[in-house]
Structure 1
Amino acid sequence: MSSFDVGLIGMGALFVLLAFRIPVAFAMFVVGFLGIWNLHSLNAAMNYLASESFTIASSAELVVVPLFILMGNVATETGMSRRLYDAAYAMIGSIRGGLASATIIGCGGFAALSGSSVASALTMGKVSLGEMERFNYDHRLSTGAVAAGGTLGILIPPSTGFVIYAILTQESIGRLFLAGVLPGLLLLFMFVLTVTVQCWLKPEMGPAGPRTTAGEKARAMVGALPILTVILLTIGGIYTGIFSPTEASAVGAGLIIIIGLVSRKLTLSAFWAAAKSSVVTTATVMFILIGAHMLIPFLALSHIPQEVGAFLEGLNVHSLVILALILACYLVLGCFLEGFAMLVLTMPIFFPVIQQLGFDPIWFGVLVVLTLEMGLISPPVGVNVFIVKSVAQHVPLGTIFRGVIPFWLAMIATLILLVAFPQISLLLPNTMIN
């Protein structure tokens, strides 16, 4: 049996394990370990296990994961995240669809604190769904806006998706963070435009909310100012070269904690809850990365990446067609696999092809993360859809999935724009001060 055949058997076994709901980290670990043992030796597999686990666990770059997660969790526990929604609510809530648009803007702001799509959808769902229910919003629009808005958490920096992509491809976390800013804002605009168009076509979907006075608007903006300042400092510090991404995560987490203490919103129990949640999430990410670094050597030994690259190059088509095929694979896989699992499974196969075609890896990273976002609202997995369902239990699951369709189409339009105009992604990282 050839090494390529062993590789195919291994990948098949991996998908079988995932189908039986085995956690992706353990599935990759088992397949990678047994694959290296089969193609090389038991000693090699044991050596990879020891060295890769230590290398990942001691990586200074990964400090950004627990610190940014802690920053978002503290903001959630202290209620700071609601201030972002309140500010958007005060400014645009009185127009048709304004509450849904405010929810999306709030999701974008919270994404810049937490880097988590699930946390964004859950937090903003609890904050906004009841309010939209009170003003008789169509359930398709209200739940769709929350589910889609939550996906911004994986694109707008700090993004755990970008961190994992950077570790797997040896790219700069700072450049990837900056590359996600303009695409993230573009996607946010496209979501707000989607809400506006739906309410223009069917005004009853998003009735106007309450009017607010100039004083109420001012107070809401002042309440959100500390959070907005932290966001601008962390992203601006990376862009100007004042902070590295690791330092920015420490500054952001420290400032959020200080704001919580000064405002007397951060109690010992709230900090304990935020810290415990951060540890659990960080451990999950670390296990996934360790599992991925066991699988990657197995794939290299099986020559699957080289065979896939040779096949794609042998198609004798334009490089953009190959890129479209790769992105289409991500869209299909997103219907069945969780985003991070999809990233660590496919990157060792597709990234060498992207390098051979001469595409910018930072730009490709943005495209991949955007397609991962689409998987968060794609049936049958659609993690964000199920998160929204847990908050709005009286809304049928089918209604929520129908509600996300217009936003899914908006993501397709954004993906096309980013492919057609790579400078949208590359402007900030190419002008950052080193």
Structure 2
Amino acid sequence: MEWYHVGIGLLGLLMLFIGIGLPIPFALAAASMPFLFYIQGWSTALVSSELKLWGVWIDYILLAVPLFVFLGELIGRSSIGPNLYQFMHRGVRVRGSAAYGSIAACAGFGAVCGSSMVGSLTIGGVALPEMKKLGYDSRLASGVLAAGGTLSVLIPPSLILLFYGIVTDTSIGELFIAGMVPGLVLVLLFCVVVYVWGRLYPSHIPEVDRTARSSLRQMAISVGPIFLIGLVITLSIYTGIATPTEAAGVAALLTIVLAFGVGGLTIQGFQDALMATMRTMGYLGLLLSAGVLFGFVLTYYRVPQQFTELFLAWELGPYMVLAIVIAFYIVLGMFLEPVSMTFITLPTIFPLMQAAGFDMIWFGIVYTITMEIAVLTPPVGLNLYVIQGISRGTIAIGEVIHGCLPFIASMVVLIALLIALPETATWLPATLK
């Protein structure tokens, strides 16, 4: 069987199964099984499938995923996340402080949680009613919070960077380090968007909020937990004291202590966090397992290598290849969520990017930013529906989309900056080496 027959067959079956409503993990596995049976026969294929699936569930590196998810759920169900927003909002007496505070709170939340959707849900649940009460335009308020949640994907620790490192066999620690400077630049770009929006449409942002400032004790309670958790993760990974998995374990334990101690977490909230983590990992675990089978079939028939050779035979320049790949992901992101895209497409795309001569740490950051764009593009933009759901029908999905457009443009600007100045992503990892 030729490699292109396999590639077209896998893609066709995958689209068929997704089209009839099969969940993506089952669609991936179902598309892979006919080719696996052809390679190994019925009995051998079943045994090898079981071994590959078991190998995913006992992978030490992957243990970091449920730990980071659990950490984010704990913060979301305690008062740590809401307190952080209130401090960022009230601590600065400038026009638009609630919008700037939302961005800063999302960035702070991103430093301890790698999930975009959890970030939007946690900060948005507190900030959106507050911004509406203060008189912010619905499009600006929803756009700030939907886009702000994506900072959790770029500012380490990041689940997308973690999955990228696993699929491409790239250093997860270096990827986390590389995401820091672009993440801070994106925070600045988001603030610029809010400032320009306020200049163009003064009525969309109220005057300076005169709410009483937080006391020193309230500030310590608001910032202290996030600072400690972020410090543990950052120092332990970047100094080489701990692996990302070990850092996630220690940070999760610290979060439990802080969530109960100063975050007002209840036993019911703790149980809810456990259940939410198990539900998330049930899906992610199946997706990871199915992705292994899908990747095995691709690798066995050398589809990524042959595809790379075919692509390079067209003699396109490296940046033309990059432009095509970015455009491909932006379009695909309108229909698939980022984790599924990672396991379906990266096994084929990353050999192509290597052959084009790009640094895989640098490409990991560019890839992650395109995933941020994916969660803001309809019809399957997860953050759009999170914010629209938080509003309880008071904000239409069209307003959320409209509000996100300037922030998507700022992400495109960041990609352009990374292309023009690759050192934006590569300087810090190289320095810390």
- Asked if these proteins are the same fold (TM beyond 0.5), I'd say yes
Check if 1:284 corresponds to 2:278.
Answer: no
Counterpart residue identity of residue 46, structure 1: L
Closer/same/farther in 2, CA of residues 111 and 20 from structure 1, 3 Å limit: farther
Once the two structures are TM-superposed, the CA of residue 140 in structure 1 deviates from its matched residue by 0.7
Closer/same/farther in 2, CA of residues 318 and 130 from structure 1, 3 Å limit: same
**Which residue is equivalent to 1:230?**
229
**Which residue is equivalent to 1:161?**
160
Once the two structures are TM-superposed, the CA of residue 97 in structure 1 deviates from its matched residue by 2.3
- C-alpha distance in 2 between matches for 1:286 and 1:183: 29
Check if 1:260 corresponds to 2:259.
Answer: yes
SS of residue matched to 2:394: coil
Contact 2:139 2:402 in 1 (8 A): yes
Closer/same/farther in 2, CA of residues 20 and 180 from structure 1, 3 Å limit: farther
Q: 5+ residue gaps in structure 2?
A: none
Equivalences for 1:22-33 in 2 at 5 Å? 22-33=22-33
Once the two structures are TM-superposed, the CA of residue 39 in structure 1 deviates from its matched residue by 4.3
SS of residue matched to 1:266: coil
Closer/same/farther in 2, CA of residues 389 and 309 from structure 1, 3 Å limit: same
**Which residue is equivalent to 2:81?**
81
- C-alpha distance in 1 between matches for 2:141 and 2:9: 44
Counterpart residue identity of residue 24, structure 1: I
Moved more, 139-148 or 236-245: 236-245
Moved more, 3-12 or 332-341: 3-12
Contact 2:173 2:237 in 1 (8 A): yes
Moved more, 297-306 or 381-390: 297-306
Equivalences for 1:115-194 in 2 at 5 Å? 115-194=114-193
Once the two structures are TM-superposed, the CA of residue 403 in structure 1 deviates from its matched residue by 0.8
**Which residue is equivalent to 1:102?**
101
Counterpart residue identity of residue 214, structure 2: E
Contact 2:329 2:370 in 1 (8 A): yes
SS of residue matched to 1:216: coil
Once the two structures are TM-superposed, the CA of residue 55 in structure 1 deviates from its matched residue by 1.2
SS of residue matched to 2:67: helix
Contact 1:3 1:39 in 2 (8 A): no
Once the two structures are TM-superposed, the CA of residue 46 in structure 1 deviates from its matched residue by 2.0
- C-alpha distance in 2 between matches for 1:248 and 1:322: 36
**Which residue is equivalent to 1:240?**
239
TM-score (norm 1): 0.95
Check if 1:46 corresponds to 2:17.
Answer: no
Counterpart residue identity of residue 9, structure 2: I
TM-score (norm 2): 0.95
- C-alpha distance in 1 between matches for 2:372 and 2:431: 26
CA RMSD in angstroms, aligned pairs only: 1.8
**Which residue is equivalent to 1:414?**
414
Equivalences for 1:12-27 in 2 at 5 Å? 12-27=12-27
- C-alpha distance in 1 between matches for 2:41 and 2:3: 13
Moved more, 331-340 or 36-45: 36-45
Counterpart residue identity of residue 127, structure 1: V
Contact 2:79 2:263 in 1 (8 A): no
Contact 1:168 1:344 in 2 (8 A): yes
**Which residue is equivalent to 2:214?**
216
Closer/same/farther in 2, CA of residues 20 and 181 from structure 1, 3 Å limit: farther
Closer/same/farther in 2, CA of residues 101 and 254 from structure 1, 3 Å limit: same
Deviations 1:325-354 (A, max 9, x none): 111111111111111111111111111112
Counterpart residue identity of residue 71, structure 1: L
Closer/same/farther in 2, CA of residues 264 and 347 from structure 1, 3 Å limit: closer
- C-alpha distance in 2 between matches for 1:133 and 1:151: 21
**Which residue is equivalent to 1:343?**
342
Once the two structures are TM-superposed, the CA of residue 219 in structure 1 deviates from its matched residue by 4.3
Equivalences for 1:391-410 in 2 at 5 Å? 391-392=390-391, 393-410=393-410
Check if 1:311 corresponds to 2:310.
Answer: yes
Counterpart residue identity of residue 31, structure 1: A
Contact 1:36 1:44 in 2 (8 A): no
Deviations 1:78-107 (A, max 9, x none): 111112111210223x42322112111111
Once the two structures are TM-superposed, the CA of residue 10 in structure 1 deviates from its matched residue by 1.9
Identity %: 33
- C-alpha distance in 2 between matches for 1:80 and 1:390: 22
SS of residue matched to 1:59: coil
Closer/same/farther in 2, CA of residues 217 and 370 from structure 1, 3 Å limit: farther
- C-alpha distance in 2 between matches for 1:242 and 1:380: 43
- C-alpha distance in 2 between matches for 1:360 and 1:47: 37
Once the two structures are TM-superposed, the CA of residue 43 in structure 1 deviates from its matched residue by 4.1
Once the two structures are TM-superposed, the CA of residue 306 in structure 1 deviates from its matched residue by 2.7
- C-alpha distance in 2 between matches for 1:326 and 1:38: 31
- C-alpha distance in 1 between matches for 2:105 and 2:267: 26
- C-alpha distance in 2 between matches for 1:7 and 1:308: 9
Counterpart residue identity of residue 273, structure 1: D
Contact 1:34 1:45 in 2 (8 A): no
Q: 5+ residue gaps in structure 1?
A: none
- C-alpha distance in 2 between matches for 1:45 and 1:334: 32
